[in-house]
Chains A and B, each alone.
Chain A
């Protein structure tokens, strides 16, 4: 009875090995791509390029196309290329590809978090090697976290009035990668920082030409306000919104031509005053949060000055003068 049971287990084991070997028999070239990548006798650029070429070719095989291991390998090789040769390229296509391949690997993953050893026979330089590769889904998440952090870095560096759209795309990719790697990732503070910085850029775009770039005023306002909704005491957004309204008011006046008809001056002043008044509660809130911040005192001094409330302006000027130099 015991012998019969042992034979049964042995048959199951042989069947398992057979199945694994069959499943991965077509994976030899996938494993070979990994092997090439690790071959330090070649220059890194050469071996990585060759590994990419081989994995690109292998992935089209019917067995590979639905293999988590194949996409995982492809994603990691692409990530390696990006990391070594394209890290400075903020619009790297290889990085985007790596993300897609790693996502595909995760979508096909059935390992339930357990590392799987994969044996393959590969032919390399005329020799046959039996290699054991380890498929570990955790590595996919680590790679996505790394790529995500690079997207975030690039979003930061690209956030200006020219590249802001690319910065948004990079930021979204950062979020996408991090969410896959860690569904519980807390974006709150990063989100507030990024959106405030983005709103600043929208504000700059608007103030570059308040007549033609009006759409950026709305973008800036709504982006700052979205941050303030997340945290009603978020200083940078509150201060930024105050400055947006204030600077708009100043620009309304400064963009008046000298020979503007005198009948229109009052109306233009009304429009500017509306913005100075809008700026005031946000500037006061910023002051309540950071009463000794130089920029806040300058803003309040300027807003009250622009509203011709000179006594109040002087109060903040005096507070500013009292700050340690």
Chain B
């Protein structure tokens, strides 16, 4: 009887231990990573007017997108729910430290903003954002098909199972920004 129980326990232990499911990694963060890398690189290939080269380099995210936390973690190495400026940030644009801002709505967009990212679910806000940003040197980045033709400077698109970006040079220059030929060469050009 005891032997039988021991065998049963052993069999249970065996089956329980052999089967160890490998851990599945969250896909969202890798998607955010590519966008973050692109955004970071845009700062190298786009030139802002001199008066934008002081203070922090501000990237604003419109709405309550998880991309805000992801971008903060990727740039600063940890989530920034308090919206404080990171002092320990090593990533810089020239001498400017990064500041990631979360604008819950269009009205809350104030001050200097170098890049404004409009997540897909806020795409309908683009016309109003364009009005609000008129005369400012803000690079407007969207992620919905067709928005590069509706005023966005750069629009993230999916092409052949990869993240790419459309670039509308006219829309960039409207905001007194200069784009390098390297970035143009890598982008899907839209007019």
Residues of A near any B CB (own CB < 8 A): 149, 152-153, 156-157, 159, 193-194, 196-197, 200, 203-204, 236, 239-240, 243-244, 246-247, 249-251, 253-254, 256, 258-263, 265-266, 269-270, 272-273, 276-277, 295, 298-299, 302-303, 305-309
Interface of A: prevailing SS: helix
Give the total number of A-B pairs whose CB atoms are below 8 A apart.
114
Q: Which of B4-27 contact A (CB under 8 A)?
A: 10, 13-14, 17-27
Interface of B: prevailing SS: helix
For B31, list chain A residues within 8 Å (CB).
305-306, 308
For A254, list chain B residues within 8 Å (CB).
25, 29-30, 33
Query: Which of B26, B30, B74 is packed against the most chain A CB atoms within 10 Å?
Result: B30
A295's partner among B24, B37, B74 (CB-CB below 8 A) is: B24
Q: List 25 A-B contacts (CB under 8 A).
A: A157-B17, A159-B18, A193-B19, A194-B18, A196-B18, A197-B17, A239-B21, A243-B23, A247-B23, A250-B27, A253-B30, A254-B25, A258-B36, A258-B40, A262-B38, A262-B182, A263-B186, A265-B38, A266-B164, A298-B24, A302-B26, A302-B27, A305-B31, A308-B162, A308-B163
**B interface residues, how many (CB within 8 angstroms):** 38
Query: Which of A262, A276, A277, A302 is packed against the most chain B CB atoms within 10 Å?
Result: A262
Q: Which of B40-91 contact A (CB under 8 A)?
A: 40-41, 44-45, 74-75, 91
For A307, list chain B residues within 8 Å (CB).
161
Mask, B82-117, CB within 8 Å of A = 1, is 000000000100000000000000000000000000
For B22, list chain A residues within 8 Å (CB).
200, 203-204, 240, 243-244, 247
Residues of B near any A CB (own CB < 8 A): 10, 13-14, 17-31, 33-34, 36-38, 40-41, 44-45, 74-75, 91, 158, 161-164, 182-183, 186
